[in-house]
Amino acid sequence: MIKPHGSDTLNPLFEYDTEKHHALITEAETLPSLLVSSAAAANAVMLGAGYFTPLAGYMKLADALSVAKNLKTTDGLFWPVPIVNMVQDAQGVTAGSRIALRDPNVEGNPVLAIMNVEAVETASDEDINEMAQQMFATQDPNHPGVSAFKSQGNILLSGPIQVLNFSYFQTDFPDTFRTAVEIRNEIAERGWGKVVAFQTRNPMHRAHEELCRMAMEDLDADGVLIHMLLGKLKPGDIPAHVRDASIRKMVELYFPPNTVMITGYGFDMLYAGPREAVLHAIFRQNCGCSHLIVGRDHAGVGDYYGAFDAQTIFDESVPDDALEIEIYRADHTAWSKKLGKVVMMRDAPGHTKEDFILLSGTKVREMLGNGIAPPPEFSRPEVAKILMDYYQNLDS
């Protein structure tokens, strides 16, 4: 199986030893505590689950700036986005202290992790703007990633952490949330060698379904990991439990047995386009996947990125030896009326726009909300039914 990023073995920061785990929970009640942002909590979950191997904790300011500007830490580790714990008020926390990090997303704010604080640093407005510009290619406050990043605060707490739980992800999505450790183990149990990862924050329509098939066939892969984001999204996006139900129904009815793993990960969407695509590649490599499907406007939002910027970044900014995982480059996929099947539009010569069934997200939401199923060439009827029920309940 493919090696983890920057390491021979995974480095999950969750404390799995039962006695040590209990001792840490007891200790946490005696420590000063800090309520962290949702973004910092999601970083802790990803660190705990091994997805962010080989990182040992939150980055210091110099590393965060180096990653933003140069896609590598100060000691040369290739990494695409800062993994930070930024707060508005450090509440007297000093370097050398040991603190409990509390979860903002769970009632009662339970302890999520214990942190050894190595540095407390204040980022200047110039530093924050520089990181935002490099990560998101904009400082527009209307960009959901920019607004979330800049709202966290400008005090960076850096240092290693020991993770004690996986926030709400394990309890709310017990059948779907999986750590990188668990995914690697299941890939091994299934006997898969070549595995394609499909990233999604949306339900999967016919085009997505066929794209997974195309990638598996083109690469002669053993299986596909459908890996859905379970964390926070922007307003208007479909919640995770609805996506989960629709994807499970699609796989149950339309894929052969032992060809698909349906899993999810605990992270808030960044909407960072190309930079987020590279992050997606890193943690899919840590899962044991050999390939990641990168399609049109991968991890994008609005018109902030070019349609294929998330592919070209791998050519222009990712050194040849930085990653072992490879990307599978996908074009926009749609149903061809001429050919009677889903195709990549680049592979359909002699077609005009009218030869494809193309529906905007707005149009699809409008149809579903009115109880009208999109055409079967666009969405499987069983999937459309789940989505229609959701949208109609919004209005009731």
pLDDT in tens, 308-351: 999 999 999 999 999 999 999 998 888 899 889 989 888 888 89
Give me the pLDDT at residue 324, please.
Answer: 97
- Name the nearest CA neighbour of 42 among 186, 148, 199, 132: 148
Give me the pLDDT at residue 391, please.
Answer: 86
pTM (2 d.p.) = 0.94
The residue from 170, 186, 216 where one domain ends is 170
Do residue 157 and residue 239 come from a single domain? no
pLDDT in tens, 197-233: 999 988 888 989 999 999 999 999 999 999 999 998 7
Residue 290, amino acid: S
Q: Is residue 366 part of a domain?
A: no
Do residue 30 and residue 91 come from a single domain? yes
Do residue 165 and residue 222 come from a single domain? no
Annotation says 202 is catalytic: yes
Q: Is residue 34 part of a domain?
A: yes
Give me the pLDDT at residue 370, please.
Answer: 84
Q: Is residue 209 part of a domain?
A: yes
Do residue 129 and residue 194 come from a single domain? no
- Active-site residue among 190, 202, 248, 365? 202
Q: Is residue 381 part of a domain?
A: no
Do residue 179 and residue 323 come from a single domain? yes
Do residue 159 and residue 281 come from a single domain? no
Do residue 61 and residue 150 come from a single domain? yes
Q: Is residue 72 part of a domain?
A: yes
Domain of residue 22: give its range: 18-170
Q: What is the CATH classification number for the domain harbouring 196?
A: 3.40.50.620
Q: Is residue 212 part of a domain?
A: yes
Do residue 160 and residue 106 come from a single domain? yes
Q: Is residue 160 part of a domain?
A: yes
Tell me if 302 sits within 8 A of 276, measured CB to CB. Answer: no
Give me the pLDDT at residue 264, please.
Answer: 97
d(CA 313, CA 241): 32
What's the total number of domains in the chain? 2
Asked whether residue 396 carries a pLDDT value surpassing 70, the answer given is: no
pLDDT in tens, 15-48: 999 999 999 999 999 999 999 999 999 999 999 9
- Average pLDDT value for residue range 135-161: 96
Annotation says 201 is catalytic: yes
Do residue 152 and residue 24 come from a single domain? yes
Token pair for 136 = 């998101």
Do residue 132 and residue 177 come from a single domain? no
Give me the pLDDT at residue 95, please.
Answer: 96
Q: Above pLDDT 70, what percent of the chain?
A: 99
54-63, 195-204, 353-362, 375-384: segment of lowest average pLDDT: 353-362
Long-range contacts at 341-345 (CB < 8 A, ≥ 24 apart) = 341/210, 342/206, 342/207, 342/209, 342/210, 342/211, 342/377, 344/211, 344/214
Give me the pLDDT at residue 71, please.
Answer: 98
d(CA 339, CA 253): 23
Do residue 225 and residue 142 come from a single domain? no
- Active-site residue among 98, 201, 213, 248? 201
Q: Above pLDDT 90, what percent of the chain?
A: 80
Q: Compute the mean pLDDT over every residue in the chain, rounded to the nearest whole number.
A: 94
The residue from 152, 170, 188 where one domain ends is 170
Which pLDDT band holds residue 395 (cuts at 50, 70, 90)?
low
Q: What is the CATH classification number for the domain harbouring 83?
A: 3.10.400.10
Q: Is residue 8 part of a domain?
A: no
The residue from 278, 305, 333 where one domain ends is 333
Do residue 243 and residue 95 come from a single domain? no
